[in-house]
């Protein structure tokens, strides 16, 4: 049917939002057992709201993936991608705030209906698993759940969906591909990585000289600081040597490719160039999304400790301990955090050739 043939009729607020379905979707098991627990309503509604917000995050992530999935990103649309990530961040803020609402329920209040939940668990949220997969969390990077694959808690349809999501593109790999296509790393005679290495050496030479010439530190302290500085130099070598970088990827300590890492570093160093400002914001928002999920997981773990202590979770996990481990381990964009280690003070950033600066400026700036 052609769009112009669709007949739009008036609709009531109640029907548009399908409120009959939503407001009648709270079935209190404690009431069914003739032992009503007042706070079960709060527990159900809070988790239903979580799932609604998860649905919106999934919606935004699919749009982001579509934006980067054609192999050629229109740089004019990077701002739209930043806006989508910013919306996800605002939603994450609500997810964290909702925990405070949940905590108006005491541990004793929760125990009034907890037995009716068994064996239901938040771990069984298929939408949250989808969010993790869409972001780029890989199966091998997950905290083990009950010594079994993490999808063991789902039915066959759920397992099939998870397998399908894992086989498709995710945001991490698409961002990595996009970074690898950065055209400014080798611009005519401008070899960014070699010039950057020279700047790093100058920075370390200056820091060593400052340590050696100070009269405040004892010889022992000077020696210790010089050793720490040399360890930092080793880290730079691991990241800025292709061979060393590949070794770290094979070990699993790094995930982002060498070329993508160098591109992300350049974007961070030259963020003030007009064309690189939005790509910098994009990378920053990815870190913030990763960080907010870590905050939410930690906050969730604290709430569980407050409600259950060291009791086992209703889904059979170790409860608080398991949730805390996922907060520490389930980072998708950890490599983007590492870029901060590689930054040098502005005084050491290599100057860009004039023609490259013009290419990184807006059209009206050059005309």
Question: What structural domains and CATH numbers belong to the chain?
Answer: 15-198+225-366 (1.20.58.480)
8 A C-beta contact, residue 208 and residue 226: yes
CA distance 36 to 29: 8
Please state whether beta strands 186-187 and 190-191 pair in parallel, antiparallel, or not at all (unpaired). antiparallel
Mean pLDDT of 91-117: 94
CA quadruple 281, 294, 55, 10: dihedral sign: negative
How many residues would you count in the chain?
367
Interhelix angle 156-167/126-135, nearest 10 degrees? 10
Q: pLDDT (tens digit, 9 = 90+) per residue, 214-273?
A: 999 999 999 999 999 888 887 787 777 899 899 989 998 899 999 999 999 999 999 999
Compute the chain's Rg from CA coordinates.
Answer: 26
Mean pLDDT of 75-88: 92
8 A C-beta contact, residue 314 and residue 118: yes
Average model confidence (pLDDT) across the chain: 89
8 A C-beta contact, residue 52 and residue 35: no
The pLDDT score that the predictor gives to residue 365 is 47
CA distances from 177 to 72, 119, 339 (A): 10, 41, 17
**Among residues 199, 206, 356, which one has the least CA distance to residue 265?**
199
> Which pLDDT band, with edges at 50, 70 and 90, does 316 fall under?
very low
CA angle 199, 200, 205 (to 5 degrees): 95
> Which pLDDT band, with edges at 50, 70 and 90, does 152 fall under?
confident
The pLDDT score that the predictor gives to residue 363 is 47
Interhelix angle 258-269/171-180, nearest 10 degrees? 70
Mean pLDDT of 42-53: 97
The pLDDT score that the predictor gives to residue 235 is 79
The pLDDT score that the predictor gives to residue 156 is 95
CA distances from 102 to 49, 52, 136, 337 (A): 12, 17, 29, 31
8 A C-beta contact, residue 22 and residue 44: no
> Which pLDDT band, with edges at 50, 70 and 90, does 145 fall under?
confident
Q: Is 366 a residue whose pLDDT tops 70?
A: no
């Amino acid at each position: 049917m052609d769009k112009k043939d669709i007949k739009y009729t008036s609709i009531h607020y109640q029907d548009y939002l399908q409120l009959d379905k939503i407001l009648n979707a709270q079935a209190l098991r404690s009431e069914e057992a003739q032992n009503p627990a007042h706070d079960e309503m709060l527990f159900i509604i809070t988790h239903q709201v979580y799932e609604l917000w998860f649905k919106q995050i999934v919606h935004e992530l699919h749009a982001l993936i579509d934006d980067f999935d054609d192999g050629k990103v229109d740089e004019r649309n990077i701002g739209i991608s930043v806006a989508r990530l910013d919306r996800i961040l605002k939603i994450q803020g609500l997810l964290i705030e909702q925990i405070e609402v949940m905590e108006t329920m005491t541990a004793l209040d929760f125990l009034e209906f907890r037995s009716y939940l068994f064996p239901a668990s938040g771990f069984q949220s298929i939408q949250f698993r989808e969010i993790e997969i869409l972001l780029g969390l890989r199966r091998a990077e997950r905290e083990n759940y009950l010594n079994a694959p993490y999808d063991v808690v789902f039915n066959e349809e759920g397992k099939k969906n998870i397998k399908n999501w894992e086989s498709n593109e995710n945001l991490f790999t698409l961002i990595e591909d996009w970074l690898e296509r950065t055209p400014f790393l080798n611009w005519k005679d401008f070899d960014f990585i070699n010039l950057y290495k020279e700047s790093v050496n100058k920075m370390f030479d200056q820091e060593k000289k400052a340590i050696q010439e100070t009269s405040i530190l004892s010889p022992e302290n000077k020696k210790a600081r010089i050793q720490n500085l040399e360890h930092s130099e080793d880290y730079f070598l691991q990241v800025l040597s292709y061979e060393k970088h590949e070794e770290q990827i094979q070990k699993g300590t790094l995930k982002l490719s060498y070329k993508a890492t160098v591109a992300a570093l350049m974007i961070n160093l030259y963020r003030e160039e007009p064309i690189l400002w939005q790509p910098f914001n994009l990378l920053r928002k990815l870190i913030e999304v990763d960080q907010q999920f870590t905050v939410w997981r930690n906050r969730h773990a604290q709430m569980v400790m407050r409600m259950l202590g060291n009791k086992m979770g209703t889904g059979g996990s170790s409860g608080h301990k398991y949730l805390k481990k996922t907060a520490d381990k389930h980072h998708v964009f950890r490599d983007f955090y590492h870029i901060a280690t590689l930054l040098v003070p502005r005084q050491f950033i290599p100057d860009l050739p004039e023609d490259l600066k013009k290419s990184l400026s807006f059209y009206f700036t050059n005309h």
